[in-house]
Structure 1
């Protein structure tokens, strides 16, 4: 029986303990700051916030290129001879990374590529579904595994509220007028992945503690999420009391397992400090 190896990108924010435990291979994306190219994961997130405070600019981010993907896949095959790689990638609608993976794998055998149409916790939810499936059915045929993973892609639901409109404005994602209005009225957008695209679906007004509760209630009312697992996301700066309250609400809603995930440099560059999000799979 040939071994199947799962892989994904750093933009999944897959916690290191899960990646290590389940041998999920992670390829880094890039953060460009002060003219330097940093691999996502090698840069403390606080450096991004410090950079913004100093320059009022946010770093730029770039995808994993095809050469890096080729090296990544080649190393996996060297480490695990005769393996089959199942790569679950960052949404192709927001990055060229998945297309670069396709280019890199064109002349390589036994690599299956799945466009997760999701990012951060939404991508991690799909990766961990694949992990669980593979551990329950270690003899599953690769094509069957890929088919089951692809079937769950539309059921992965991610919703988050960025911590800072300033970061969205600096990154060109909101206009100055919208930023000023939002800042004055304390309005923050709820952002979701709709068919792989980042879309603002609602606006919340108030402080982050109240907004996080509204987001949790709306999310659970809108989606019938599998109570086996919930992923809660935060960027550095989120108040610990908010995290405690979200744990309470998740428990009250009947979730058996809750996993907190910290946004890495790639995601934090766009979300800013103090952001909060939720991800899970619909039943």
Structure 2
């Protein structure tokens, strides 16, 4: 029986312990800062915040290129001879990374590519669902596993509130007028993945402590999330009291397993410090 190996990008923010435990292979995306290109995962997130503090600029981010994918898939095949690779990729609607994987895939057999149409915790939820499917049915045919993974993609729900409007403004994601209005009114946008695209769907007012609770309550009211697993994402700077409170609310709502995920350098570049997000799969 041939082994199936799952892979994804660093933009999934898949916790290292889960990646190692389940042999999920992760290819890094890129963060460019001070004219230097860093592999996501090699750059401490704090360096991004320090860079913004001194320059009032945020780094740029770039996708994994086709050459890197070629090397990545080649190494997987060398490490796991005669394996079948199923790559679950970062949404193609927000990055060229998936298209680069498609280009690289032309040189490989026994390689399946799935556009997850999601990022960070929403992507991790899909990857970990694939892990569970494979562990529950280790003899599953690769074609059948791909079908099951694709079927869950529309059910992966991600919502988050960036920690800093300043980062959104510095990255050109909000206008100065919108930034000033949001800052004065203490508004924070709710971002969701809709058809693979990042969309602002609502604005919250107040401190992050109350915003995080509102986001979680709205999320649970809007989506019928499987109570078996919930993922919380945070960027460095989120207050510990907020983390304790939202976890308490999740447990009160019947969630059995809660996994916290720290945003890596690539995601933190867009979210800023102190961001909070939620991801899970609808039943």
**TM range, normalised to the smaller chain?**
over 0.9
Q: How far off is 1:107 after superposition?
A: 1.9
Matched residue, 1:167: 167
Matched residue, 1:235: 235
Q: C-alpha deviations, 1:102-144, integer Å up to 9, x for none? A: 0001121000000000000000000000000000000000000
Name the Cα RMSD after superposition: 0.3
Gaps of 5+ in 1: none
User: Does residue 276 in structure 1 map to residue 246 in structure 2?
Assistant: no
Matched residue, 1:24: 24
Matched residue, 1:118: 118
Matched residue, 2:70: 70
Matched residue, 2:139: 139
Misfit runs of 4+, over 2 Å: none
Give the Cα separation in 1 of the matches to 2:107 and 2:263.
34
Give the Cα separation in 2 of the matches to 1:90 and 1:56.
28
Give the Cα separation in 1 of the matches to 2:78 and 2:168.
41
Matched residue, 2:211: 211
Give the Cα separation in 2 of the matches to 1:224 and 1:174.
31
Matched residue, 1:88: 88
* Secondary structure at 1:2 match in 2: coil
Matched residue, 2:202: 202
Matched residue, 2:9: 9
Matched residue, 2:193: 193
Give the Cα separation in 1 of the matches to 2:172 and 2:198.
14
* Secondary structure at 1:69 match in 2: helix
Gaps of 5+ in 2: none
Q: How far off is 1:14 after superposition?
A: 0.1
Q: C-alpha deviations, 1:32-81, integer Å up to 9, x for none? A: 00000000000000000000000000000000000000000000001111
Matched residue, 1:245: 245
TM-score (normalised: structure 1) = 1.00
User: Does residue 157 in structure 1 map to residue 119 in structure 2?
Assistant: no
* Secondary structure at 2:117 match in 1: coil
Matched residue, 1:37: 37
Give the Cα separation in 1 of the matches to 2:26 and 2:98.
14
* Secondary structure at 1:188 match in 2: strand
* Secondary structure at 1:42 match in 2: coil
Matched residue, 1:263: 263
Give the Cα separation in 2 of the matches to 1:137 and 1:37.
41
Give the Cα separation in 1 of the matches to 2:30 and 2:92.
16
Give the Cα separation in 2 of the matches to 1:181 and 1:68.
42
Q: C-alpha deviations, 1:221-246, integer Å up to 9, x for none? A: 00000000000000000000000001
Give the Cα separation in 2 of the matches to 1:41 and 1:200.
27
